């Protein structure tokens, strides 16, 4: 039979057994003080009888136990903690409470806390949270304590045994950060990544003498409340890199989010141990997702990289001609415009929510034009502005195109004249490079009406170049980033000579331009080109794509001599004087080919009411039969969608979250 200890006023009235009446616990004496030692458990150690239907006036305080517990999580152990609560009555007596109270945890990433039983089950994410208990009877009593979760995980590559782990762990270091120690190549020092980024490929170069296939390596990731060790034998084919398993990386990336991560690589070779200098970088409390569309010159085709899965899809294998190059994507990710080449210059428009793998791909519209042009969609995707691309100037000013037909439409007022126009996300302006190679902006007033054009940055006013090119807008339409250098191109010119380029940013109304030097870190100072902002405003940052030919990683797992896509965090509230950029990171999943002209948009999905085959087709994630039996995209079937999941409207998301412009549930951006 279970023993029960409860608070009571008198033994005769309230206690079935007077030896179990505990009336002095809050008088400063230990459990059992002032009564015979019966050997019975105390009130903290046993279950209470169901007597906690207490009137608000009877309780004056709550107390939680255990206080400040620490949970140690490993690969094989995830111990639970049971929080208990007792209440103090007005008469000073205490009682254990099992109903009438509710437990909450301020950081749900740490694990699940049962609201009624107080049982905490860790998730595998480390950190410190606050556990709170409150009455639910209107008395508004609360108590809270800290909860610490420490995580230690280990990964072993093929052939690694216990003896090897012991040997490399206990070996004395012959070189720590010296020229004979491993050199960490990637990620870059100081890089900033969102917490849901695909697992990076950690890469290093061995520098110790006599490197051999018997060498043992340990890559270690450290944060205050988590450590991950990965062990490897440098057998044949070992590339001196490590990509963590996605689930393990997800837990680690959310641990102590925002605190620097410390990466070290140790090697044990012929009884000597060497350890790299620490490389530090960060994951921050931000979410990115969606798709990046880019052009591969060697394939003469467009590809789509799904960011969260780091997977490239040949979504448009047969565009309708031998090549599709210059392209743009609507801000909602639903439409693509591209110029087809081979038999002529045709502007083709595609619905990205459809299957485009047919021969040829179905188009919304296709129109013949005299010259190849670069385009940009307006805010709602109904219009395109079309102008010269940097590489093929003409004498034609900008034109306005109906995105449903591909035909030009009359514009009231001059739209602009120059290169690579880019419509602002709010639809109120078009930025471009004018014929004098300066950065200019035309006011867009709606209903195909346009106002004055003004230069907001003189190219010759900034060092290291005389040409401003390829402007891109921050998601809030307040700032413009652009390439500044000596050409309207990225990378190596046709002649083989280099093209200098760096990234700068300026307010939309003009003013002081600021170089994004940290975003260019890791390059040679002039190899950062063609910026394009993602639609994401998350974690206090905007997220900027750019193209660079800088070396990535080591010579085995990385790339050399290819134009590839990187991402940099940009402070969402720049002050106009300091560099608002952070050190960038490599966009995972790219193929080993040149990837140019990236556009980052929400993942293509179908709105409510559109036909579908599976939930993956739909923005809400739900594909259900309608009244006729046809499967259509429907409102979410499950409860609210948590942070980081796709959505169609704010009501799809859990309380406190909003469906942002990138169609994911996230914290609302501050004004």
Is the per-residue pLDDT at 607 higher than 90?
no
- For residue 124, give both structure tokens: 């595998």
Distance of CA 620 to the CA centre of its chain: 20
Question: Is 39 a residue whose pLDDT tops 50?
Answer: no
Q: pLDDT at position 293, please?
A: 96
Span 500-521, mean pLDDT? 96
- In order of 52, 89, 94, the CA distances from 60 in angstroms are 14, 6, 10
pLDDT at 265 over 90: yes
Residue 470 pLDDT exceeds 50:
yes
**Given this model, what pLDDT does residue 55 score?**
54
Tokens of 449: 């009406």
Averaged pLDDT of the chain: 89
Choose the weakest-confidence range: 161-165, 396-400, 634-638, 667-671.
634-638
Same fold, 11-150 and 157-284: yes
What's the whole-number mean pLDDT along residues 617-634?
89
In this structure, is the dihedral angle defined by the CA atoms of residues 553, 554, 558 and 564, taken in order, positive or negative? positive
Categorize the per-residue pLDDT at 391 as very low, low, confident or very high, splitting at 50, 70 and 90: confident
Do residues 513 and 504 touch, judged by C-beta distance below 8 A?
yes
DSSP string, 159-208: T--HHHHHHHHHPPEEEESSTTS-EEEESPTTBEEETTPPPP-EEEE--S
Say if residue 631's pLDDT is above 90: yes
Tokens of 437: 């190679």
Task: Specify whether the CB–CB gap between 301 and 324 falls below 8 A.
Answer: yes
More confident residue, 563 or 496: 563
* Higher-scoring residue by pLDDT: 37, 651: 651
Q: 544 near 581, Cβ under 8 Å? A: yes
Q: For 262-276, 322-336, 635-649, which range has the lowest pLDDT when averaged over its residues?
A: 635-649
Q: What is the mean pLDDT of residues 639-660?
A: 89
pLDDT above 90 covers a percentage of the chain that reads: 76
Alpha helices in 264-322 (DSSP H): none
User: Could you tell me the pLDDT band of residue 497, with boundaries at 50, 70 and 90?
Assistant: low
Per-residue pLDDT tens over the stretch 393-438:
899 999 999 999 999 999 999 999 999 999 999 999 999 999 999 9
Q: How far apart are CA 281 and CA 176, in angstroms?
A: 19
Q: Does domain 291-601 have CATH number 3.50.50.60?
A: no
3-state secondary structure string, 621-662? CEEEECCCCCEEEECCCCCCECCCCECCCHHHECCCCEECCC
Looking at residue 5, its pLDDT comes to 36
Q: Rounded mean pLDDT of 198-210?
A: 96
Separation of alpha carbons 180 and 191, rounded Å: 25
pTM score of the predicted model: 0.88
**Residue 515's Cα: distance from chain center in Å?**
24
> What pLDDT is recorded for position 12?
36
Confidence of residue 178 (pLDDT cuts 50, 70, 90): confident
- 20 phi, psi to nearest 5 deg: -100, 5
pLDDT of 495 over the 50 cut:
no
Query: Stretch 465-485: mean pLDDT, rounded?
Result: 97
Superfamily classification of domain 157-284: Immunoglobulins (2.60.40.10)
Quick check: 32 pLDDT over 90? no
Residue 498 pLDDT exceeds 70 = no
Sheet hosting strand 449-457, strand order edge to edge: 418-423, 429-434, 439-446, 449-457
pLDDT band at 44 (very low <50, low <70, confident <90, very high): very low
pLDDT at 30 over 50: no
* Cα–Cα–Cα angle for 458, 520, 508, rounded to 5 degrees: 35
CB environment 49-58: b (16+ within 10 A), e (fewer):
eebbebeeeb
Q: How far apart are CA 549 and CA 562, in angstroms?
A: 5
Q: What is the pLDDT of residue 344?
A: 86
Q: Has residue 667 got a pLDDT over 50?
A: yes
Question: What Rg, from alpha-carbon coordinates, does the chain have?
Answer: 31
Among 267, 288, 174, residue whose Cα is nearest residue 535? 288
Q: What is the mean pLDDT of residues 581-601?
A: 95
Tokens representing 205 are 């170069």
**In the predicted model, is pLDDT for residue 346 greater than 90?**
yes
515 class by beta-carbon count within 10 Å (0-12 exposed, 13-18 middle, 19+ buried): middle
Element (H, E) at 254: helix 246-254
Residues 614 and 392: their CA atoms lie apart, in Å, by: 43
Give the pairing type, strands 216-223 and 261-269.
Answer: antiparallel
- The CATH code belonging to domain 11-150 is 2.60.40.1080
Domain ranges of the chain: 11-150, 157-284, 291-601, 608-671
Task: Identify whether the C-beta of residue 541 lies closer than 8 Å to the C-beta of residue 570.
Answer: yes
Confidence of residue 669 (pLDDT cuts 50, 70, 90): confident
> Does the pLDDT of residue 38 top 60, yes or no?
no
Q: Are β-strands 279-284 and 301-306 bridged in parallel, bridged antiparallel, or unpaired?
A: unpaired
What distance in Å separates the CA atoms of residue 237 and residue 380, rounded to the nearest whole number?
50
Residue 8: pLDDT over 50: no
- In this prediction, residue 492 carries a pLDDT of 56
Average pLDDT over residues 583-601: 95
- Provide the token pair at 479: 């700032």
| pLDDT value of position 57 | 58
Q: Map residue 566 onto helix, strand or coil.
A: strand
Give the pLDDT score at 46: 40
Question: What's the mean pLDDT in 243-255?
Answer: 97
Q: Which residues contact 439 (CB under 8 A, 6 or more apart)?
A: 431, 432, 433, 455, 456, 457, 459, 468, 471, 480, 482, 506
**Planar angle of CA 210, 212, 214, nearest 5 degrees:** 130
What CA–CA distance (Å, rounded) separates 246 from 231?
17
């Amino acid at each position: 039979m279970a023993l029960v200890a409860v608070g009571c006023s008198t033994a005769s009235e309230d206690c079935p057994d007077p030896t179990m009446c505990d009336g002095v616990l809050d008088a400063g004496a230990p459990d059992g003080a002032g009564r015979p030692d019966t050997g019975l458990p105390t009130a903290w150690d046993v279950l209470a009888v169901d007597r906690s239907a207490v009137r608000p006036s009877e309780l004056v305080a709550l107390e939680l136990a255990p206080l400040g517990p620490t949970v140690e999580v490993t690969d094989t152990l995830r111990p639970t903690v049971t929080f208990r609560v007792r209440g103090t009555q007005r008469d000073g007596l205490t009682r254990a409470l099992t109903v009438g109270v509710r437990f909450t945890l301020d950081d749900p990433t740490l694990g699940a806390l049962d609201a009624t039983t107080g049982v905490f089950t860790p998730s595998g994410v480390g950190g410190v949270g606050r556990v709170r208990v409150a009455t639910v009877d209107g008395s508004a009593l609360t108590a809270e304590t800290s909860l610490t979760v420490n995580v230690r995980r280990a990964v072993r590559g093929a052939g690694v045994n216990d003896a090897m782990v012991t040997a490399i762990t206990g070996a004395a270091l012959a070189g720590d950060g010296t020229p004979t120690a491993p050199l960490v190549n990637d990620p870059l020092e100081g890089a900033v990544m969102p917490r849901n980024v695909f697992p990076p490929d950690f890469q290093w170069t061995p520098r110790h003498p006599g490197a051999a296939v018997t060498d043992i390596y340990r890559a270690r990731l450290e944060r205050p409340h988590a450590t991950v060790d990965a062990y490897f034998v440098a057998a044949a084919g070992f590339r001196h890199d490590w990509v963590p398993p996605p689930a393990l990386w997800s837990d680690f990336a959310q641990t102590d989010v925002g605190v620097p991560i410390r990466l070290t690589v140790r090697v044990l070779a012929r009884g000597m141990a060497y350890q790299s200098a620490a490389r530090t970088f960060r994951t921050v409390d931000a979410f990115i997702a969606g798709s990046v569309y880019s052009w591969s010159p060697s394939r003469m085709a467009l590809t789509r990289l799904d960011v969260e899965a780091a997977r490239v899809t040949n979504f448009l294998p047969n565009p309708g001609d031998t090549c599709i190059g210059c392209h743009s994507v609507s801000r909602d990710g639903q439409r693509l415009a591209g110029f087809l080449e081979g038999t002529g210059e045709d502007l083709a428009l595609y619905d990205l929510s459809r299957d485009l793998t047919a021969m040829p791909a179905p188009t919304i519209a296709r129109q013949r034009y005299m010259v190849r042009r670069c385009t940009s969609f307006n805010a709602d995707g109904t219009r395109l502005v079309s102008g010269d691309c940097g590489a093929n100037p003409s004498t034609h000013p900008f034109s306005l195109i109906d995105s449903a037909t591909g035909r030009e439409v009359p514009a009231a007022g001059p739209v602009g004249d120059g290169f690579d126009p880019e419509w602002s996300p709010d639809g109120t302006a078009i930025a471009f490079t004018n014929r004098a190679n300066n950065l200019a902006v035309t006011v867009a007033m709606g209903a195909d009406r346009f106002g004055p054009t003004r230069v907001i940055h003189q190219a010759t006013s900034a060092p290291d170049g005389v040409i401003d090119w390829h402007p891109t807008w921050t998601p809030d339409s307040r700032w413009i980033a652009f390439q500044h250098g000596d050409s309207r191109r990225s990378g190596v010119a046709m002649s083989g000579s280099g093209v200098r380029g760096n990234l700068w940013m300026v307010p939309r109304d003009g003013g002081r331009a600021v170089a994004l030097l940290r975003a260019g870190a890791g390059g040679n100072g002039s190899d950062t080109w063609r910026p394009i902002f993602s639609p994401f405003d998350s974690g206090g940052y905007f997220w900027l794509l750019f193209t660079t030919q800088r070396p990535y990683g080591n010579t085995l797992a990385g790339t050399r001599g290819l134009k590839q896509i990187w991402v940099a965090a940009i402070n969402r509230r720049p002050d106009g004087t300091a560099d608002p950029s952070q050190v960038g990171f490599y966009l995972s999943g790219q193929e080993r080919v040149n990837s140019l002209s990236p556009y980052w948009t929400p993942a293509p999905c179908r709105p409510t009411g559109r036909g579908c085959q599976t939930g993956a087709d739909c923005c809400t994630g739900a594909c259900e039969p309608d009244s006729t039996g046809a499967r259509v995209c429907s409102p979410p079937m499950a409860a609210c969608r948590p942070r980081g999941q796709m959505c169609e409207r704010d009501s799809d998301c859990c309380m406190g979250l909003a469906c942002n412009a990138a169609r994911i549930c996230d914290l609302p951006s501050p004004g």
